[in-house]
């Protein structure tokens, strides 16, 4: 039996699994690549517990929608932090109809520690690109496989050089910043 991404992530979140929290260093890097939100829409893809979506919403002033495939993750996100906060939406970004999102276009789309798990990366990147307003930013935080020895089990959590090429191809602006063992990408159409 094949496990769908939604089933996999729901099982992990429902069991109490939690992931790397957003750090002050990360939010400082992010703020350096974004204009103030002023109520413009932002989309956080793979929101998990909602830490990045809440930061976009409360600290940077965006009207944020957080999406995830796991209902348990969205339940954690919805029950954490000050209200009113981001809007939470159950969605598989690669396969579901993006017309179901609350806005037709976004000033910012974020993807933190999710890109590695996307099976159809070209489709994913294309969908994000089409949702961004002119001058919008796609912010991706991910591990890189080549930063780990072949025997390191964390190597499988990073993306390959080919994955980086898929992610960064076709953008007019590509900026990179290191965040410890992670890499951040600020991409603009």
* Mean pLDDT, rounded, for 6-15: 85
Mean pLDDT, residues 54-61 = 96
Give the pLDDT mean for 65-73.
Answer: 96
Report the mean per-residue pLDDT for the chain: 91
Q: Which two tokens stand for residue 22?
A: 């957003």
CA atoms of 119 and 101, how far apart (whole Å)? 21
Least confident range from 34-43, 101-110, 155-164: namely 155-164
Indicate the pLDDT class of residue 158, thresholds 50, 70 and 90: confident
SS3 track for 126-160:
HHHHHHEEEEEEEEEEEEEHHHCCCCCHHHHHEEC
Neighbours of 171 (CB within 10 A): 18
Which has more pLDDT, 35 or 130? 130
Q: Is pLDDT of 151 > 80? A: no
Mean pLDDT of 58-84: 93
**Rounded average pLDDT over 166-178:** 96
Whose structure tokens read 């930063």? 147
- Look at residue 7 and tell me whether its pLDDT is greater than 90: no
* Mean local confidence (pLDDT), 5-27: 86
Cα separation, 185 vs 141, in Å, equals 6
Residue in the block written with tokens 């991706």: 140
Residue 81 has pLDDT above 90, yes or no: no
* pLDDT number for residue 80: 87
């Amino acid at each position: 039996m094949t496990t769908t991404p939604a089933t996999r992530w729901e099982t992990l979140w429902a069991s109490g699994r939690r992931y790397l929290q957003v750090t002050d260093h990360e939010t400082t890097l992010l703020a350096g690549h974004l204009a103030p939100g002023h109520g413009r829409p932002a989309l956080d893809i793979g929101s998990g517990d909602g830490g990045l979506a809440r930061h976009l919403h409360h600290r940077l002033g965006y009207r944020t929608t957080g999406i995830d495939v796991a209902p348990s993750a969205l339940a954690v996100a919805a029950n954490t932090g000050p209200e009113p906060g981001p809007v939470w939406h159950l969605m598989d970004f690669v396969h579901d109809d993006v017309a179901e999102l609350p806005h037709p276009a976004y000033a910012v789309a974020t993807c933190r520690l999710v890109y590695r798990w996307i099976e159809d990366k070209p489709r994913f990147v294309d969908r994000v690109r089409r949702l961004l307003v002119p001058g919008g930013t796609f912010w991706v935080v991910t591990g890189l496989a080549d930063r780990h020895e072949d025997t390191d089990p964390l190597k499988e959590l990073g993306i390959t050089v080919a994955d980086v090429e898929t992610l960064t191809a076709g953008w007019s602006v590509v900026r990179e910043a290191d965040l410890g063992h992670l890499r951040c990408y600020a991409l603009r159409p």
